[in-house]
Structure 1
Amino acid sequence: MPSSDTSKSVSSTEYLEAKIPGAFPDVSNLSISSHQTLSQALYARKAEYTRPRNVRIKVGTWNVAAIKETDKDVGGWFVQGKGIEESIGGWGVGSPKSESIEPREGVQEQEARSSKHGSTLPKHDDGAVPGGNDIGLYVLGLQEVVDIASPTEALRPYTDPSVGKRYKAAIEEALPSGYELVAEQQLIGLLLLIYASPTLKQHVTSVSTTSVGTGLMGYMGNKGAVTARIILGETTRLVFVNSHLGAGADKTALERRNWDAAQIEGRTRFDPIVDIMGVSQATGEGLGEEDFAFWFGDLNYRLEGMPGDDVRRLLTRHVKNLDPPEAEDSASVSAESSDVSKTPSSNSDLDAVPLPPDLDPASLQTTITSLLPHDELQQQQRAGKAFHDGWKEGPIQFLPSYKYDIGKVGVFDSSEKARCPSWCDRILYRTRAAKLQHDAKLKEREEARKKDEEMKAKGMEQAGDDEDVLFDYDPDTDGDACDDYEPNTEPEVQTVITKEGFKDEILLEYYTSHMRVLSSDHKPLDAIFNLTFDAVIPELKATIHQEVARELDRQENEGRPSIAVVVECATATESPENKNTTDSDFDGIDFGDVQFAKSKKRSITVANTGRVPATFGFTDRPLEEDQAAGPFPPWLTVTFDKEPDVPAQPPTDQVHQQYTLEPADVLNVQLKLKVDSMDLVRKLNEETAKLEEILVLRVQSGRDHFLPVRGRWLQSTLARSIDKLIRIPEGGIRKLQNQKPASDQGVKWSAPRELFRLTESIEDLTERTVADWDMTGHENDRAPWHHNAGWPFAKDSRYFADGAHETTLANVYEALDCDTPFDKAFYPEVAPMQRVEILAEVILRFLSSMTDGIVTQEMWKNLEDGFAARERSKQQLPADEERLWALEILSSAPNHNVSFVLLTSMLQRVATEITNASKADPKSPRSSLDLPSSPVSVRRRTLSKVPKVAIRQLINRNYATLFAEAVVRATGTDKMKDKDKTVRKERMIRLLELFLSEGVEDQ
């Protein structure tokens, strides 16, 4: 809660003009300044519905070095506080717990047991720092969860989420019940996970995650940071940065680390915050605008200029005797102690009082204190080159976190490289107060520099006795050191006034290393912070909300609601070739040229220009014959950038969804026009329907607004008969725009040209796809035709999900209508496999849209009668004879016959190509044959015992099933019983299978 002193010192005018989220807008920008909105009045009473809350935040970091099975350890050390060697534990770590019946496993036993297939943590470890339900917010940063040095592994997070899932599963298994993942972000090897307790998660809002790559070329993600911003209780901004900075021990590497940190701080940007007034920031905030920030990870800072062998020797003596002495060695230990007590310098009285660690020359803390002046991070902070703007760190009272032999507790790098131990892994934190203090000092220095230059320019350096008033500033030397940097001292409670004006407090309780985690060459660290913050209490806020609403309700009748509607200019988004189709005098929403399957978007802005809240919505249209009910035609989708009001009673005046805007608020509305109904396409082609409508925007207690909407339909080859399609000239249907292919116009083609083009392209692309797959290898993966016997006409969702290719699909239909090459419809990055899937979707849609079908109703009646007669007589014709019989019926319409043969020939060739690519082993027994899955029902016992033939039969069945109803037109199906429909469908499939299996029956 804001302090009383602060509230008394701020005048009402200053409060109104405060530049903080949720503050009142600048009254100079409002046409009406006397009106106070509900949200504004509610915010002004925020102190009445907030209460202090206390939460512990545990921040952990670990470089897992891309080693598998490290997830077996992560829950134990991070959530349960295990793996700490208390004698060298770190800040805040006291005596070990002794809850277990059995003693904790010794170091030697632990190292002997450690393996890659289980947890390496010591057995019977009760944990040395708080965990479980004691923590409200768990924040874990992992580095190198994949091998960042391997291009193949580095791309895995984009295609295989299993790596991150393993660590999440391990954390969630260790967490108490009810904890929930509130933020997650991954950038190649960097993974950030944040979990909130059941009581805290309701107070977490405005979650935004982002990442910054600083690796190769300064932007790749092998180095960089993943960052999350959350707001607690609508009052306190928290930012968490998990980073992996550049490696290396030379000066260039050090400069690169500083550069990486600066890039992360400069390029991190979060989503805009929507404050409690419902107003969104114009731009998102960056680092430095939060109340509390935590920066952790493998920062890679080393011990500068220290011989590795000397450092290892110095540190090893603190870890070599972690296990208690064995019984057989107790005599020697006692003798050793006796010898020490007899030395001349021994004083029994003094020895009875142990020396403090910082005064004991043999203590770990003394050793650490001697090494820290060489720590690059602290050097760079002192020099003002990195992490100097308010960042602090808890006291370092633990051994360096890097580099250890895997499987060992305290064995430093014994490889040939023999790397020098260093505190590479760190946890830093910063408060808003520390950042503002740093910024204020920078401003003071800059002002002093300017004043010094001004005074020197006036010659005041010769002022004699007044020389003492001059500022002795040297730009060549001053500013190199960071005057406000303080070495890490014992943490104290820090009080912070947040950006929202609340008073928060934070205290570092623990900062420790988990030395007895053996599965990585880095030791994990964690820190526990105790945060006291003001949180919104929903029940109190609801009560205040009601009071404010009642008070403002009196003002609603002071004026009539009024809105203004601004329509996007039609020519603003049109392509140059379509600009001439728009009418600048048209006072409405003009979508310009519209083609099948391609979305066109326009937007309108609704602003409340009145003195009172305005509630409005679109009303139902006056319906004509065959029109769909509702406020919008079926080809128009309307979306709003805010949720509709929750009506207290059923809507009136035929308004289904209503929206309320406070004075000076705006609402953005997007209108999307898309034609994908074949019935509508047919009517548009025949000019019995138009893309025209008038929308009515009704304002409660105000006047209606009328919005004309229109689009210009571009003729399509879809939803036409074969007789009309074969008369379309070369160049496509668009050459006949605003005309109809006349029945007396000369026949141009033996079958629709569109069918020729589609079948030819599908054949070619299928061949290319199979060849590409064979050349590229695709280890550990199966070709789509191995998964799906209906491919490419039943798409493989692993490679091309439905709905992900709307623009490309629309471009293909455009190419079909304009008789242009399909290659120009695809973006270069679209692979042949994806292209053939799209064309396969198009050909099925094209065939299904034909008004007469390839097999007309009359043809099908004759074919169905023949099938039925042979079924009744149980007479089965040989396949060749049955094909001749079918072709004789189809030949009654030559163009349909040619189209049918063209289609089935294409399907036959595609099936042959895929069958050959399946590479079935002819020696495999029928029972062990690995057949592709079938999207249609197939009784596999009816398939051939020859593997290759069985695959071909399965493909034929799938193709026939997928194309049956697209090719054949039949009457009366809607009136038939389900059993009869099934029989009819099976006969259609039989017709196609006759021609697809030609040449296969005898194998």
Structure 2
Amino acid sequence: MPPSSTGSADRLDATIPGAFPGSEASSHDHVQSVSTHQTLSQSLYERRDEYTRPRNVRIKVGSWNVGAQKGTEQDIGAWFVDGKGLEKAFAGLGVTENAGERRESVREQEGRASKIAPTIPQNDGAAEPSGDEVGIYALGLQEIVDITSPAEALRPYSDPSVAKRWKEAIQAAMPDGYQLVAEQQLIGLLILIYVSPAVLPHIKNVSTTSVGTGLMGYMGNKGAVTARIVLGETTRLAFVNAHLAAGADKTALDRRNWDAGQITSRTRFDPITDVVGTTQAHGEVLGEEDFAFWFGDLNYRLEGMPGDDVRRLLTVHTQGLDTGTADEKGLSADGSPSSATPESTSKNSSNIGANEDEVPLPAEVDPASMQTTITSLLPHDELHQQQKAGKAFHDGWAEGPIRFLPSYKYDIGKVGVFDSSEKRRCPSWCDRILYRTRAAKQRYEARVKEQEEARKRDEEMKAKGLDHAGDDEEVLFDYDPDTDGDNADYDEYDANADPEPEPVSTKDGFSDEILLEYYTSHMRVLSSDHKPLDAIFSLKYDAVIPELKAAIHQEVARELDRQENEGRPSITVVVDRSTGSASPDNTNKTDSDFDGVDFGDVAFAKSKRRNITIANTGRVPATFGFTDRPIEEGLPEGPFPPWLSVTFDREPDKLDKTAADKAASENLHTAYTLEPADVVNVELKLKIAVTELVQNLNEGTATLDDILVLRVQQGRDHFLPVRGRWMQSAFARSIDKLIRIPEGGIRKLQHQKPSHDDPVQWSAPRELFRLTEAIESLMERTLAEWDMTGHDSDKAPWMHNAGWPFVKDPRYFADGTHEEILVKLYEALDCNEPFDAAFDPETAAMQRVEIIAEVLLQFLRSLQGGVVPEDMWEKIEAGIVTSEKSKRQLQPDEERLSTLEALSAIPHNNVCFILVTSFLQKLATEIANATKPDPKTPRSSMDLPASPQVSVRRKTLSKVPEVAVRQLINRNYATVFADAIFRSLNADKMREKDKAVRKERMVRVLELFLADTDQH
């Protein structure tokens, strides 16, 4: 199993080659969600015979430990791609003869061997399938760098320049059109996979990885590089190039087994989507593929065999070669005097030089043959022993018959001379090519399951006392953990028999077949102390034909769509066109040309309504509701834009927990269920009244264009476009832009925006002039009418409300009562039209002044930057703070002058400030004079107007009744207009206490300008 997440290895840098893999969650964040709609894929899979065709491909797997020797890349193309360098006498499985009859002799070859030229025999020919006869080339190299060097073994990265040199050499030898589809390097390990032009279109889901098992258990001087490809969308192939621990002692053997287990448990490939459309939640591991090939320098030795004896046995056969070395000098392979004469060598070396009249014995029964010698040595092969003991490669791994000499260790530059150095290493089959099919692994797992079940039955019977029923009776099941782990039947094949084709049912249910055709070593390659070896497999597989699959896919989709439509919920959405308006482009097209809800022209604060009808036109009940709409980043989320509200003419469903959870999973905020033929009416209301949105619409950074999503459970989504055409407004603009709007109002600029380059038309916004003038005029009429009528029975609103007309008395001005009139006034302001047209002729002047006062406040609150911008207020407040700290109270005239001096830096804002404060001062004077409290009444019992905006203690007011009334009015006006005139920085981040202090300072500034200077 992979290391625990709590282990120290998890803290290793993930970039170190071969380090422990990270957590699966982080490694596979890119994995897509599993599709919930499997019907189409499953139906398509059931018809797989119609869109797959059998294909055949040869797979050539090669392995070579190059020992970090220079010049070895010059031999790679000749033996691996061209199939050269084989020796007939030691050919191996499938090789019967060499094509090159005039090839260079061994003596000549060894005589010219060098590091600057290929060592392959000259004039050699291919003795196995080569070139374009092979569809997939999979090459594993070991020790392409010197891994015995501490600098290389501990290097935190792989040097790509070395791999580049090898790739260039192999690509030069490949037939035209062959391409590299997978590569992975781990320090000295390199795996390269090339495919032919015919196979390339069938390669998908390539994934490579590496596992280091060297120093400290994870460094890359030992380990494996692996690759996974999917062939024809049906067949998973895994290739493992490994270099296991070296050494001939028991500890080294155990470490090799540990290395193999680590490689198996820690290898992770990227997830893939199978043929039925399911994407794995986690990556694939070794064992999930259909065919696996494990090759490399596995380093398993000949256990318990003296090296000198093995060399002597094998030298008997190599002396038949024209080596010009050991046999010529009369020496054995270990350097001792040879007792074998040329005659005896000829007699005992696999019938070499035998009498032509003699009938040659088959190699497997000839006691003097090389195969007999090999067969006698193989029982001592550690790999076979570990497989049989169930300690490594016992779970379905197989190997072709070994009919070639050990691949290690040879003198570099020699064909058949085993290690003549001081170490005199025992020859061994260190380099191997194993393969495993899905069927073989399943057979192994079935045996393990049977053994486990047998063990459990045996324990159960022993627990019942049935283990020894009598002296003559034996227990039915007897499990011994010390012996039953012996996998004596791990190799169900005859090691010397030619392989037979093995049928395999793939993971995705397709029928494949594999046959090992060749397994041999290339003895005539001299540039390394390891002989390279290769194995050639013939694979018959079912390949998906894309054109046929596409046609079947369409048929299946149409049929499923027909079946699904008959039984799925279905609704129809009808948009009411009776209130349609011209389309936004002002062409002759009408709302009928727009497949959605068109609100037409949209003005500030004006509500517009449209209706839709939803009908259940299916055969089953339909549950639906609006779900979150698709939006761009930064826009408000939810089912509706902030300027739209939606109302159904019925109550939503009352859902139990299961139904509520289902609705929540589909993001249905409210759900409604309609029976077949039932309908529901829905009203959509649009209103633009939020200052920020008005500003964005004016500037063109926002639009009234959105899409609502009506989701039907187990049905399809309906998309309902919604749009409107924004009519430019004077609200939510800056003073600097408003003073540049020409005569006629903002609507004159419907298709353009006010610019700083436009000439200044007004000293202050014309809208401000119009509103203040209208209020002053109406106030005069109101006061005059009141004086004339003399309403003794009911006091005037200003008699009991010191904030009137800006603070409404709910008895006369309830919220929403005058919404339509306000909208008409907003429109009149934007279009530069008379305000009187917005009122009913019978509307009293008193009510008119109240409503226009509301428009004035709305206009000031919406001004971008306000009358007194944030930075300007900071300067004014700084002066106030300085005065407060110095405890020197400025005279009112000095304070007013200080404020006006600060505002002089922004002259147009200064004009607006003076305009508004002068207007309020005049209004307050007129209302205070109209109140006229009885001067003879003591202040303690004086009937003063209420102060709705701010609490005022009576003892702080003037003892003069007229002055006290004026103070109340000024205080209320200043409080109301402080937020409308001033803008302050970071107000939302301030403490409530600090906000109150700042607000009081603003009110104080306004009171200075509202005060009647003639009063004392």
TM-score by length of 1: 0.52
Distance 1:740 1:140 in 2: 77
Rounded Cα–Cα distance in structure 1 between residues aligned with 2:375 and 2:871: 90
Task: Return the alpha-carbon distance in structure 2 between the equivalents of residues 56 and 238 of structure 1.
Answer: 13
Matched residue type, 2:496: T
1:525 equivalent in alignment to 2:533: yes
Cα separation, 2, equivalents of 1:338 and 1:73:
35
- Post-superposition offset of 1:272: 1.2
After superposing the two structures, state which structure 1 stretch, 218-227 or 316-325, moved more: 316-325
Please tell me whether the aligned partners of residues 392 and 488 of structure 1 are also in contact (alpha carbons under 8 angstroms).
no
Q: What do the CA deviations read for 1:393-445 (whole angstroms, capped 9, x no partner)? A: 11111111011111111111111111111100000111111111111111111
Name the SS of the counterpart of 2:525 in structure 1.
coil
Query: SS at 1:460's partner residue?
Result: coil
Residue type at the aligned position of 2:400: G
One-letter code of the match for 1:361? P
* Closer/same/farther in 2, CA of residues 159 and 502 from structure 1, 3 Å limit: closer
Fraction of identical pairs, as percent: 67
Contact 2:177 2:197 in 1 (8 A): yes
Q: Does 1:445 align with 2:461?
A: no
Are the structure 2 counterparts of residues 619 and 200 from structure 1 closer, same or farther at C-alpha, using a change threshold of 3 Å? same
> Does residue 411 of structure 1 match 2:387?
no
**Partner Cα distance (1:561, 1:219) in 2:** 59
Residue 744 of structure 1 deviates from its aligned partner by 10
Contact 2:109 2:121 survives alignment (8 Å): yes
The partner residue of 2:496 within 489, 505, 508 is: 489
Q: Give the conservation status (yes or no) of the 8 Å contact 2:411–2:417.
A: yes
1:761-799: CA deviation from partner (whole Å, max 9, x where unpaired): xxxxxxxxxxxxxxxxxxxxxxxxxxxxxxxxxxxxxxx
Separation in structure 1 between the aligned mates of residue 134 and residue 89 of structure 2, nearest angstrom: 24
Q: Secondary structure at the match of 1:355?
A: coil
Instruction: Tell me which residue corresponds to 1:833.
Output: none
Alignment of 1:276-675 (within 5 A): 276-323=275-322, 352-464=358-470, 467-468=473-474, 470-486=476-492, 488-490=495-497, 491-555=499-563, 557-558=565-566, 559=568, 631=632
In structure 1, distance between residues paired with 2:503 and 2:438: 10
Render the CA deviation track for 1:711-766: whole Å, top value 9, x for unaligned. Answer: xxxxxxxxxxxxxxxxxxxxxxxxxxx999978999xxxxxxxxxxxxxxxxxxxx
Alpha-carbon distance in 2 for matches of 1:192, 1:379: 28
The equivalent residue for 1:4 is none
Q: Give the CA deviation at 1:354.
A: 0.7
**How far did residue 63 of structure 1 move?**
0.6
Decide whether the 8 Å contact of 1:90 with 1:397 is kept in 2: yes
**Deviation digits for residues 476-501 of structure 1, max 9, x if unmatched?**
33223433334523211111122222
2:77 is aligned with what amino acid?
G
Contact (CA 8 Å) 1:560, 1:701: kept in 2 or not? no
Measured in 1, the distance between the counterparts of 2:535 and 2:425 equals 26
- Whichever residue aligns with residue 149 of structure 1, its letter is T
Q: Is the 8 A contact 2:402 2:496 kept in 1?
A: no
SS of 1:184's partner is strand
Closer, same or farther in 2 for the Cα pair 1:517/1:704, shift >3 Å? farther
For residue 86 of structure 1, what is the aligned residue in structure 2? 88
Partner of 1:42: 44
Task: State the distance in 1 between where 2:89 and 2:203 align.
Answer: 37
AA in 2 matched with 1:42: L
- Cα gap change, 1:160 to 1:695, in 2 (>3 Å): farther
Q: Distance in 1 between matches of 2:183 and 2:703?
A: 46
Q: 1:457 to 1:310 in 2, by over 3 A?
A: same
The aligned counterpart of 2:964 is none
The CA deviation string for residues 284-310 of structure 1, in whole angstroms up to 9 with x for no partner, is: 221122211111000000011111122
Q: Structure 2 vs 1, CA of residues 548 and 307 (structure 1 numbering), >3 Å: closer, same or farther?
A: same
- Counterpart amino acid of residue 273 in structure 1: I
Counterpart-to-counterpart distance in 2, 1:366 and 1:388: 25
In 2 relative to 1, CA 325–520 (structure 1 residues): closer, same or farther, beyond 3 Å? closer
Cα distance in 1 for partners of 2:561, 2:388 equals: 59
1:391, distance to aligned residue in structure 2 (A): 0.9
3-state secondary structure, aligned to 1:255: helix
Verify the 8 A CA contact 2:158 2:186 in the aligned structure 1.
no
Q: Distance in 2 between matches of 1:740 and 1:458?
A: 96
8 Å contact kept, 1:357–1:364: yes
Pairwise CA distance, 1:121: 0.9
CA RMSD in angstroms comes to 4.2
Partner Cα distance (1:145, 1:40) in 2? 47
Displacement of 1:232 in angstroms is 1.2
Residues of 2 paired with 1:154 and 1:123: CA distance? 37
Q: How does 1:800-879 map to 2 (within 5 A)?
A: none
Q: Distance in 1 between matches of 2:52 and 2:435?
A: 26
The amino acid that maps onto 2:495 is N
In structure 2, relative to structure 1, the CA distance for the partners of 1:407 and 1:474 (3 Å cut) is same
For residues 586-639 of structure 1, give each alpha carbon's deviation from its aligned partner in whole angstroms, at most 9, with x where no partner exists.
xxxxxxxxxxxxxxxxxxxxxxxx999x9x999998xxxxxxxxx557999xxx
For 2:627 and 2:545, the matched residues in 1 are separated by 33
Structure 1 residues 548 and 356, CA gap change in structure 2 (3 angstroms):
same
One-letter amino acid of the structure 2 residue matched with residue 61 of structure 1? S
Superposed displacement of residue 450, structure 1 = 1.0
Q: CA contact under 8 A between 2:323 and 2:415: conserved in structure 1?
A: no
What one-letter code is carried by the residue in structure 2 that aligns with 1:544?
Answer: I
Question: 1:140, 1:380 → 2: CA distance?
Answer: 25
Inter-CA distance 740–517: structure 2 relative to 1 (3 Å threshold):
farther
Contact preservation (8 Å) 1:618, 1:695: no
Residue in 2 that maps onto 1:205: 204
Cα pair 1:97 1:126 within 8 Å, conserved: yes
- CA shift, 1:171, in A, is 1.2
Contact 2:66-2:144 within 8 A present in 1 as well: yes
How far did residue 529 of structure 1 move?
A: 0.6
Query: Structure 1 residues 271, 691: closer, same or farther in 2, change over 3 A?
Result: farther
Q: 2:541 is matched by which residue type in structure 1? A: F
Q: Find the aligned partners of 2:463 and 2:488 in 1 and give their Cα distance.
A: 27
In structure 2, distance between residues paired with 1:46 and 1:667: 34
Q: CA deviation at 1:704?
A: 6.1
Q: Is the 8 A contact 2:242 2:294 kept in 1?
A: yes
Spell out, residue by residue over 1:60-107, the C-alpha distance to the aligned partner (whole angstroms, 9 max, x if none).
Answer: 0001111222111111110100111111111111111147xxx10111
- Check 1:150–1:694 CA distance in 2 against 1; reply closer, same or farther (3 A cut): farther
| Matched residue type, 1:549 | A
Q: CA deviation at 1:557?
A: 4.6
Whether contact under 8 Å (1:243, 1:295) holds in the other structure is yes
1:58·1:139 contact (CA, 8 Å) conserved in 2?
A: yes
Name the counterpart of 2:250.
Answer: 251
Deviation per residue, 1:820-876 (Å, 9 max, x gap): xxxxxxxxxxxxxxxxxxxxxxxxxxxxxxxxxxxxxxxxxxxxxxxxxxxxxxxxx
Question: Quick one: structure 1 residues 450 and 695, their matched pair in 2 at CA, closer, same or farther if it must change by over 3 Å?
Answer: farther
Provide the rounded CA distance (Å) in 1 between the counterparts of 2:158 and 2:235. Answer: 36
AA of the residue aligned to 1:489: N
SS in 1 for 2:268: coil
Q: Which residue of structure 1 aligns with residue 121 of structure 2? A: 122
Q: Secondary structure of the equivalent of 1:90?
A: coil
> Is contact 1:231-1:237 (8 Å) kept?
yes
AA in 2 matched with 1:514: H
Query: Counterpart of 2:695?
Result: none
Corresponding residue number in structure 2 for 1:184: 183
Amino acid at match of 2:63: T
Matches within 5 A, 1:51-62: 51-62=53-64
Cα–Cα, structure 1 residues 275 and 704, in superposed 2: closer, same or farther, change >3 Å?
farther
In structure 1, what residue type is equivalent to 2:481? P
- Distance in 1 of aligned mates of 2:706 and 2:472: 79
For 2:403 and 2:877, the matched residues in 1 are separated by 93
Is the partner of 1:95 in helix, strand or coil? Answer: coil
The residue identity in structure 2 corresponding to 1:442 is V
Q: Is the 8 A contact 2:100 2:126 kept in 1?
A: no
Deviation at 1:321, TM superposition (A): 3.1
The 1:480–1:114 alpha-carbon spacing in structure 2 relative to 1, beyond 3 Å, is same
Q: In structure 2, list runs of 5 or more residues that go unmatched.
A: 1-32, 329-340, 348-353, 572-619, 638-661, 668-698, 711-715, 723-869, 879-1016
Deviation sequence 1:506-548 (CA, Å, 0-9, x none): 1110000001111111110000011111111112112212212
SS state at 2:377 partner: helix
